Amino acid sequence: MRSNVQTTVGGMRAVELYYRPIRNISAGNTAFYQSQTRLNSPGLGVLMPENFRDVSEITQQCLNLFDLELFQAMQAVTTFNERELLFNWISVYMPAKYLRDIDAESRIMEASEKMGVNSSQLCFTLSEKLFEETEHIVADNIKKLRNRGFHFMLMDFGSISSPIMKLSEYEVDYVMLSPELTQYIGKGERSDSAVKSLIDFVTGLGAEPVADGISNVHQAEILYEFECHYCAGELAGKYMAERYIRRKSKED
């Protein structure tokens, strides 16, 4: 990670990651934790991703922000392990621009080794901005990091801004289906058929589909029939601060 990155603002964390569970539909347990970054700004208060992501990615600011997010996500992996939480990985948002760096692999490896974090417990989430990248090194760095044991998940797949066929150019482990798509689940035979076609497309490329925006058991049952085994949204649980995520006791 880059040196001399300021981690606090006015005595508060410059960024704070919140986490929500991604549920295994058949087992009913938490398979993964997806993080969401909230930016603490002295003048503007707490900013949500939709308020700062696009602006930060126009400049190099997104790279410094990623250093903070990665550091905090790695801390969370250690903390969750100490709390004996059962999970496969924690995600952290990675700007596609970061993957243009020829040293991206070595930087990530250096950070994980320094923090003592197993690569298999980290997943980098990528937005549809990945599809705007034209340099071969971007896809190469994804392959290199996956070979090191890290995971990648593309978000918002199937949304109006997501060019579907571009997915074939990048090898990712997980593809999160957009709520714009999953809202059609259970609305009719034609809608379900369209959703299933995209799930089949994702699995055909060797990735695991994850359905976002799932609010009820009926939707989850349909997804399971379509061989989509993971879901996020109201049914699985909301984003929470790290301090509130603990292993449930028998009394709970």
Let me know the angle formed at the C-alpha of 146 by 140 and 148, rounded to the nearest 5 degrees: 110
pLDDT the model gives residue 249: 59
Q: What percent of the chain has pLDDT over 90?
A: 85
Distance of CA 161 to the CA centre of its chain: 18
**Residues 123 and 174: beta-carbon distance below 8 Å:** yes
Pull the structure tokens for residue 24. 């295994």
Could you tell me the pLDDT band of residue 12, with boundaries at 50, 70 and 90? low
73 pLDDT more than 70: yes
For residue 4, what pLDDT band results from cuts at 50, 70 and 90? very low
Structure confidence at residue 40 as a pLDDT band (50, 70, 90) = confident
Give the model confidence (pLDDT) of 144-188 as tens digits. 999 999 999 999 998 888 888 899 999 999 999 999 999 999 999
Q: Are 64 and 107 in contact (CB under 8 A)?
A: no
Kindly indicate the confidence band of residue 44, based on its pLDDT and cuts at 50, 70 and 90.
Answer: confident
pLDDT of res. 2: 47
Top-level class of domain 8-243: alpha beta
* 152 backbone dihedrals φ, ψ, rounded to 5°: -130, 140
Q: Where does 16-173 have alpha helices with state H?
A: 49-58, 61-82, 104-115, 136-147
The per-residue pLDDT of the chain, averaged, comes to 92
**What global pTM score does this model have?**
0.92
The yes-or-no verdict on residue 138 having pLDDT over 60 is yes
Q: How far apart are CA 55 and CA 53, in angstroms?
A: 6
At residue 160, the pLDDT reads 81
185-207 average pLDDT score = 95
Is pLDDT at 92 greater than 60 in this prediction?
yes
Look at residues 19, 41, 14 and name the one whose alpha carbon lies nearest to residue 30: 19
Region of poorest pLDDT, from 27-31, 62-66, 243-247: 243-247
Contacts of 54 (CB under 8 A, 6+ apart): none
Distance CA 182, CA 76 (A): 29
